[in-house]
Structure 1
Amino acid sequence: MIVGCLGDLIFQVSSDTVLTVSNFVESASTRYAIHQRHNNSACLEYTGMDPDQLTFDIELSEYLGVYPQSAINILWGYIRSGQPVSMVLGRTVYGKWRWVIKSMAIKMKHTDKDGTWTHCTVSVTLMEYLAQ
């Protein structure tokens, strides 16, 4: 069963494959300018919203039917090209338009006898990308 996607990376659960996200965090922030005033308190001025961010972990394991390097190659392609992609989990489409990968970190957990990754965790940070 498909449970979501990040662009072409499909999150799914079946008897053969488990590829899901965990530790999902959605965050938003705003910007303020601080105007200093002589002999008085500073004034704040609201200047707008920062792009929303999503952070989550993806477990990639050959033992769960996923070849880590294949999924990592998809993510590397997105991060290097700056390609905006959609983010969907369940019935929720996140953001107003698309997302770009701001950063990712790969933590290798296991390799096979040849040194090929068989299990790793990828921590991903997405930043909302709004079309003009």
Structure 2
Amino acid sequence: MIGTLGRKIIFEVSDDRAMTFRDMTRDISGRWAEHEVLGRKPKPEFLGPANQSVSLTITLSVSLGVRPRNVLEAIEGMVEAGTAEYLVIGHRTVGKNPFRLTASSETWDRVYSRGELSKATVTITLEEYT
């Protein structure tokens, strides 16, 4: 197993199934305020850490043992329910807190004659939930 996003999204490669991600980006930043001082440069003040964000792209293909529509529906449900889950990669959590799915963008790459979705690409956006 490569990792998980909660219990519904499992990244793995096995004899029967391959579901992986690519282009994962993680943004970590701090929150700062600037106080204006008359006749002088502004004074910065560190307010604390900002929420981290993660974006990653997942390829879903029937030929790799994945049912694209089922995974897309699970992701849709997580986005619309405001679900927050831990992102685990290589048995280590990413960040200290769970992440909420704030958005997903799907591309239906291959659809067969009866409307069966056989290949899709989805990019999900996660934001730290504290």
Q: With the length of structure 1 as denominator, give the TM-score of the two structures.
A: 0.90
Task: Give SS of 2:84's match.
Answer: coil
Structure 2 CA distance, aligned partners of 1:116 and 1:42?
Answer: 59
1:1-132 equivalent positions in 2, closer than 5 A: 2-7=1-6, 8-130=8-130
Task: Give SS of 2:66's match.
Answer: coil
1:7-50 superposed Cα distances (whole Å, 9 cap, x missing partner) = 12111111221101111122201111121222221111111111
Point out where structure 1 has 5 or more consecutive residues left out of the alignment: none
Report the RMSD for the aligned CA atoms in angstroms: 1.3
Structure 2 CA distance, aligned partners of 1:86 and 1:31?
Answer: 23
Q: With the length of structure 2 as denominator, give the TM-score of the two structures.
A: 0.91
1:45-80 superposed Cα distances (whole Å, 9 cap, x missing partner) = 111111111111110111111111100111111111
Letter in 2 for 1:108: W
Task: Give SS of 1:76's match.
Answer: helix
Identity of aligned residues (%): 27
Number of equivalent positions: 129
Point out where structure 2 has 5 or more consecutive residues left out of the alignment: none
Letter in 2 for 1:51: N
